[in-house]
Structure 1
Amino acid sequence: MKDVRITHIGGPTVLIEVHGWRLLTDPTFDAPGRRYAFGWGTSSRKLTGPAIAAGALDPIDAVLLTHDHHADNLDDAGRALLPTAGTVVTTATGARRLGNARGLTPWATTRLDAPGRPSIEITATPCRHGPPLSRSITGDVIGFALHWDGQDHGALWISGDTVLYDGVREVAGRVEVDLALLHLGGVRFPITGPLRYTMTAADAVELCRHLRPRTVIPVHYEGWQHFHQGRTSVEPVFAAAPDVRGLVRWLPLGVGTAL
């Protein structure tokens, strides 16, 4: 994907720079050490801080917030950043909670427009943040497919926090994906045993075989106690899949990478 610069700040937090736009995903900028409750007896401790402090960022044009109700996707410092962003795009339920935000349901779209820049069309894509029938407990989550004029090989897609299920597989049939930011981590909690709340490396391999993206960037795999598959667990699974391993790029934290 040409003319795109990606900076992985930590966890799910990524700065996307394209044609003058500065887009930030799931802002998490709190210091490490604190334990956060996620509801229904689940909790987790933040283990590492962001590679770039919120105050060190230049102005943000839009925040793409997959969901607002879990601190590993929006913590206190990230929430404080939202009013400084030009636009916040999130779930319909999250927009009602936040107030000044654009809310999307799966497959709904909105646009970012500004003089002298190409418009960016943002399409919400489905997520299920846990096992079947868990949505009433884990809440609404969306991913984002970004389209703009001049893309040669398809969209930039942010999976959001999701397990692999038919709604995510549907993306492969509806969106041509060039660059995929995949939220991994194989999230589990002691109180719910083996149940998973985000994709594992094996899930990512299967999904990539459906999507056929040109580039895959893993995110949401480090920095929190409830992330059970870090890079050392994910890399061997990708390496064992010859049709996928060549697609994967691990970005150094805090360093902008041109793609």
Structure 2
Amino acid sequence: MTVRVTHLGGPTALIEVGGWRLLTDPTFDPPGRTYAFGWGTSSQKLAGPAVAVDRVGPIDVVLLTHDHHGDNLDDAGRRLLPSAGTVVTTRAGAARLGGNARGLAPWSSTTLVARGRPPIEITATPCRHGPPLSRPIVGDVVGFALRWDGQRHGVLWISGDTVLYGGVRQVADRLPVGLALLHLGGVRFPVTGPLRYTLTARKAVALCQAVRPHTVVPVHYEGWTHFQQSRDVIDREFAAAPRDVRDRIRWLPIGTPTDLET
């Protein structure tokens, strides 16, 4: 089954399939503000969304990898949550948000059901948003694997903000992946020096070699000062990757709906 994906900027993507409209990590604030992430870390937003929040249309489900960082859920995105049918996020995030939020631990699942639409099973996948032992500081994050009938190549996987580690490598062992939305950017902060908090392009190549998705869509690599790898840097790394990785990369034009296979 074909899925339509519109990359709105940052981690935010609209996923349309079988009558469902799902939105990832809603970030709709205008550029210019600096957001604090805790423990002396912060970042300035450099670019706004390709589509304003009031033009996105009705949302059935928000897939929120984590609720406590402004580059994954900003003020305008937070105001959108009550109007969505369901918010799926971490267990800690669901406890903070309340209302229509469902919390998932890694490898637990929930199923979306609505009359006239195919059921979608959502499974949370592991993330570690920083170096070893950083979880108490950076908080819980999850990715999402979406499964519905008619997928030809495998699940639609949203990696979430993560580094490459054993937990995220489990995806290769447990799931066939058709379409992967990979959070990149190689995040780094002055206060913690060389430590990375999201995938670099080189680590993304290694992850793709393990997971072997049919199609890879890079997201969350631009629009903020804490990203250390621009599209040009990522492109060079992907161009030097083995052919079985570089041929799978699909850059989506920001704001343009694109039909993709899963």
Shorter-chain TM band: over 0.9
Q: Which residue of 2 aligns with 1:126?
A: 126
Question: What is the CA–CA distance in structure 2 between the aligned matches of 1:161 and 1:104, rounded to whole Å?
Answer: 16
Question: What is the CA–CA distance in structure 2 between the aligned matches of 1:42 and 1:237, rounded to whole Å?
Answer: 27
Question: What is the CA–CA distance in structure 2 between the aligned matches of 1:106 and 1:213, rounded to whole Å?
Answer: 20
Residue 3 of structure 1 deviates from its aligned partner by: 1.6
Give TM-score, length-normalised by structure 1.
0.99
Q: Which residue of 1 aligns with 2:78?
A: 79
Q: Which residue of 2 aligns with 1:178?
A: 178
Q: Structure 1 stretches (4+) deviating beyond 4 angstroms?
A: none
Q: Gaps (5+ residues) in structure 2?
A: none
Per-residue CA deviation, residues 139-196 of structure 1 (Å, 9 max, x unaligned), is 0000000000111111000000000000000010001000000000000001000000
Residue 73 of structure 1 deviates from its aligned partner by: 0.1
Q: Which residue of 1 aligns with 2:21?
A: 22
Question: What is the CA–CA distance in structure 1 between the aligned matches of 2:220 and 2:56, rounded to whole Å?
Answer: 20
Q: Which residue of 2 aligns with 1:41?
A: 40
Question: What is the CA–CA distance in structure 2 between the aligned matches of 1:192 and 1:82, rounded to whole Å?
Answer: 32
Q: Which residue of 2 aligns with 1:152?
A: 152
Give TM-score, length-normalised by structure 2.
0.98
Per-residue CA deviation, residues 60-89 of structure 1 (Å, 9 max, x unaligned), is 000000000000000000000000100000
Per-residue CA deviation, residues 184-239 of structure 1 (Å, 9 max, x unaligned), is 00000010000000000001100000011110000000000001111011001001
Total equivalences in the alignment: 258
- The answer as to 2:69 corresponding to 1:70 is yes
Residue 36 of structure 1 deviates from its aligned partner by: 0.4
Question: What is the CA–CA distance in structure 2 between the aligned matches of 1:3 and 1:165, rounded to whole Å?
Answer: 31
Question: What is the CA–CA distance in structure 2 between the aligned matches of 1:165 and 1:8, rounded to whole Å?
Answer: 26
Q: Give the aligned CA root-mean-square deviation in angstroms.
A: 0.5
One-letter amino acid matched to 1:50: P
Residue 126 of structure 1 deviates from its aligned partner by: 0.2
Question: What is the CA–CA distance in structure 2 between the aligned matches of 1:192 and 1:43, rounded to whole Å?
Answer: 12
Equivalent residues in 2 for 1:93-242 (5 A)?
93-100=92-99, 101-241=101-241, 242=243
Q: Which residue of 2 aligns with 1:5?
A: 4
- The answer as to 2:255 corresponding to 1:254 is yes
Per-residue CA deviation, residues 20-74 of structure 1 (Å, 9 max, x unaligned), is 0000000000000000000000000000000001100110000000000000000
SS at match of 2:205: helix
One-letter amino acid matched to 2:64: L
Q: Gaps (5+ residues) in structure 1?
A: none
Question: What is the CA–CA distance in structure 2 between the aligned matches of 1:147 and 1:52, rounded to whole Å?
Answer: 27
Q: Which residue of 1 aligns with 2:244?
A: 243
Residue 243 of structure 1 deviates from its aligned partner by: 2.1
Question: What is the CA–CA distance in structure 1 between the aligned matches of 2:64 and 2:44, rounded to whole Å?
Answer: 21
One-letter amino acid matched to 2:160: G
